[in-house]
């Protein structure tokens, strides 16, 4: 069985892979929102639920492994602390953990940026929808108040 540090590095890389899938989903959501493709958004939200479950499961595994390694090395379960403690015994394992964590951090930063953009787009879409609803209500009130004076009938 591989040492725990190698398992941790592999788990972090798997977590990065899952987060990359989340990043792809977020980018697709942004594009669907910009394009007004509601059916695509609904499908992407369903996919997001599945990705979220995978993210939670891999986070539990990573956290457990980091905790086990930290207990063995008498350090905090933080990558920088684990890496520092590993360097004295096995520099290669320390480097694997650092590289995998660095890769995941880059993905997380990209994901944060995309989620920020998506949140702003959703706020804009909400404001636009509220404005449209308000205008439709005004039009509806005018057509009811001026029935028969050149307005359109809202009955179907």
pLDDT digits (tens, 9 = 90+) for 1-14: 468 999 999 999 99
- Model confidence pTM above 0.75: yes
Residue appearing with tokens 């308000």 = 134
pLDDT digits (tens, 9 = 90+) for 89-144: 888 999 999 999 999 999 999 999 999 988 888 888 788 888 988 888 888 887 66
Instruction: Supply the Cα-derived Rg of the chain in whole angstroms.
Output: 25
Nearest Cα to Cα of residue 80 among 103, 99, 98: 98
Structure tokens at 155: 């009955």
């Amino acid at each position: 069985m591989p040492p725990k540090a190698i398992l941790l590095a592999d788990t972090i890389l798997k977590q990065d892979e899952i987060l990359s899938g989340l990043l792809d989903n977020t980018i697709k959501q942004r594009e669907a929102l910009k394009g007004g493709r509601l059916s695509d958004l609904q499908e992407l939200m369903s996919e997001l639920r599945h990705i979220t479950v995978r993210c939670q499961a891999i986070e539990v595994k990573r956290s457990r492994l980091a905790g086990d390694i930290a207990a063995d090395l008498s350090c905090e379960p933080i990558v920088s602390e684990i890496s520092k403690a590993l360097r004295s015994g096995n520099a290669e394992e320390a480097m694997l953990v650092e590289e995998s964590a660095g890769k995941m951090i880059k993905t997380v930063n990209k994901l944060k940026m995309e989620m920020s953009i998506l949140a702003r787009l959703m706020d804009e879409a909400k404001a636009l929808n509220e404005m449209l609803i308000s205008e439709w209500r005004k039009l509806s009130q005018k057509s009811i108040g001026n029935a028969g004076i050149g307005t359109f009938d809202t009955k179907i």
